[in-house]
Amino acid sequence: MSRRFRKDAGQAFPIYVVMVAGLLFLAFAFFAVGKASALRNGSQGAADAAALAAAQEARDRFGTGFYTSLPTNTLDLFLDGLFVPPCYEATRLAAANDARSTSCYPTPGYLRDRVTVEVEGLKPVNSPVLPGSEDRKAKAKATAVIEFRCPRPKAVDLNSDGIQDLFIFTCLDGDVLEITPSSPPPWETVSRTLFDVRLVDQ
């Protein structure tokens, strides 16, 4: 009886080895998938931050053109113009989030401009159970929109001299903004009222 037990135990040992090896492989595979998912989420966060940074910087640079367009009646032309996104901001924010910017480009549109940024993570998946993962890095893309929130302003000639001295914007959320072209307020105090910056779906 004891000899048969030792023989059965000897036959079962290879099965235990295979089972343990299988469990170890599954553990490594789950770890690799989890790491890849975490790197993907990190790259997406970097892309989101980079796109928002580029769009916000672009909005901050609109001031001169916007104020110049009011007295010359060219606001529509300004809002429909081609702009160049400050991609150095996208590069800076991507680097701050362990990624590098691989692409940054605008999609202009009337009252609504977009900035799209593509990034690649700096860290590879590098898993022994995923062939080629030592060079595989997470990639992600994000788009931010710069949207004009206030319809065409009401122009007022205060001195009846044919010159429009005051522009009154009534924005979509009820905010009222008055701008005098001869002495406009600091752009940073009005830009967030005039323009909304947010992420949009691809």
Residue 96 lies in a domain: yes
The predicted structure's pLDDT at residue 93: 93
The predicted structure's pLDDT at residue 48: 96
The predicted structure's pLDDT at residue 104: 95
pLDDT at 27 > cutoff 70: no
Rounded distance between C-alpha atoms, residue 85 and residue 126, angstroms: 34
Q: Which two tokens stand for residue 40?
A: 């993907």
Torsion region of 111: left, alpha or beta (phi above 0 gives left; psi -120 to 50 gives alpha): left
3-state secondary structure 30-49: HHHHHHHHHHHHHHHHHHHH
- Number of domains composing the chain: 1
State pLDDT tens for residues 107-127.
888 788 999 999 998 887 655
171, 77 in Cβ contact below 8 A? no
pLDDT at 164 > cutoff 90: no
List of residues 6+ apart from 149 with CB closer than 8 A: 171, 172, 173, 193, 194, 195, 196
Sheet with 176-179: list strands edge to edge: 154-156, 166-170, 176-179
Mean pLDDT, residues 146-161: 87
Residue 102 lies in a domain: yes
Residue 180 lies in a domain: no
pLDDT at 28 > cutoff 90: no
The predicted structure's pLDDT at residue 88: 94
Report pTM: 0.77
Residue 178 lies in a domain: no
Mean pLDDT, residues 79-100: 90
Residue 68 lies in a domain: yes
Q: What percent of the chain has pLDDT over 70?
A: 76
The predicted structure's pLDDT at residue 50: 96
Residue 71 lies in a domain: yes
**Average pLDDT, whole number, for the chain?**
82
Choice between 172 and 3, residue whose per-residue pLDDT is larger:
172
Structural domain boundaries, residue 110: 2-149+194-200
